[in-house]
Amino acid sequence: MRMSYAQAAAAALALEMQARADIVVLGEDVGRGGIFGQYAGLQQRFGAERVIDTPISEAAILGAGVGMALAGLTPVVEMRVVDFALCGMDELVNQAAKNRFMFGGQGRVPMVMRMPIGIWDASAAQHSQSLEAWFAHLPGVVVVAPATPQDNASLLRAALACGDPVVYLEHKTLWATTGEVDDGEIATLGRARVRRRGTQLTLVSWSRQLIACEEACDALGAAGIAVELIDLATLWPWDRETVLESCARTGALLVVHEAVQVAGFGAEIAASAAEATGCRVRRLGAPRIPVGYAPVLEAQSRIGAADIAAAARALLG
């Protein structure tokens, strides 16, 4: 069935809520479907006791989610956008992520925290951040970044079955994108998707940046450059086996992300590949500047297909 990114997530969540009475949703505006429609129809179907509208307090929402999880529920915590989640970081960093370790496994926090990332058109610096590297750096959490409607369905179902806290990073401008969705598929966390096969260059990306990478692959392919495109899908644990095997074959790796390049997660992948395979590596991310509101300033933070193709050509010489 063809669905949008938002519809796929709502349908997957409905399937899991129907099958499991322990799953609850809490956050601002979830009762009316969420600001992107990713909870459309769920409160009408499952009631206000399972799809819970909350006050505007991210710390309270995340804190309540941690408590619910420790009490035996599986909460889906809605943060609206990752930028707002910063108000509740103590609950994530010092409570959810640490509980299983600090109490010897007596408590677990099977919570899915939905925090849309990325540049949100004309929304400026406080609503356009890609902070996935923060969470990948945090021991105790799983980090997921779906790029397609199918992945937003199958990875969300996998996140709900995980049993540990999952930082679930949907992109703010992917909600209306559409694709075929098999609602019976449940993904495996930590497994990348090889979107294209190639022999000359390994190109690794995730989330919305995959679209620009696919466009770059078309341009490079027309010039006779065969690129293997890997969608990481899960940032932690990331699929080292798939990425390193590809790098060993191609001898060259380009990692592309929308996040600021400085200390971005691409550095982890590049360093791991260089250490394990000796391949040539290059990273491509945004400059270390706040995302501007004016279109001409916002454009300075965007990494487009032409930028990716140029970086690939430079890497290959």
Q: What is the pLDDT of residue 82?
A: 97
Q: What is the pLDDT of residue 236?
A: 98
- CATH level 2 (architecture), domain 2-180: 3-Layer(aba) Sandwich (3.40)
Q: What is the pLDDT of residue 35?
A: 92
Buried b (16+ CB within 10 A) or exposed e, 102-130: eeeeeebbbbbbbbbbbbbeebeeebbbb
- For residue range 217-249, list pLDDT tens digits in order: 999 999 999 999 999 999 999 999 999 999 999
Q: What are the start and end residues of each CATH 3.40.50.920 domain in the chain?
A: 193-316
- 115 in Cβ contact with 81 (< 8 Å): yes
Q: Angle formed by the axes of helices 305-316 and 209-222, to 10°? A: 50
- 39 closest CA partner among 49, 123, 28: 28
Instruction: Decide: pTM greater than 0.95.
Output: yes
In angstroms, rounded to a whole number, what is the distance separating the alpha carbons of residues 227 and 247? Answer: 11
Q: Per-residue DSSP letters for 46-108?
A: H-TTTEEE--S-HHHHHHHHHHHHHTT-EEEEE-SSHHHHGGGHHIIIIIITTHHHHTTTS--
- 109 closest CA partner among 127, 126, 97: 97
Q: What is the pLDDT of residue 134?
A: 98
- 115 closest CA partner among 95, 144, 94, 136: 144
In angstroms, rounded to a whole number, what is the distance separating the alpha carbons of residues 111 and 96? Answer: 8
Q: What is the pLDDT of residue 178?
A: 98
Determine the 3-state secondary structure of 215 from DSSP: helix
Looking at the DSSP assignment, which residues form a beta bridge with residue 143?
A: 167, 236
In angstroms, rounded to a whole number, what is the distance separating the alpha carbons of residues 183 and 15? Answer: 9
Determine the 3-state secondary structure of 283 from DSSP: strand
- For residue range 121-130, list pLDDT tens digits in order: 999 999 999 9
Topology of domain 193-316, CATH = Rossmann fold (3.40.50)
Q: What is the pLDDT of residue 196?
A: 98
Could you say which residues of the chain have pLDDT below 70?
none
Q: What are the start and end residues of each CATH 3.40.50.970 domain in the chain?
A: 2-180
In angstroms, rounded to a whole number, what is the distance separating the alpha carbons of residues 99 and 93? Answer: 10
Q: What is the pLDDT of residue 292?
A: 97
Would you name the residues annotated as active-site residues?
127
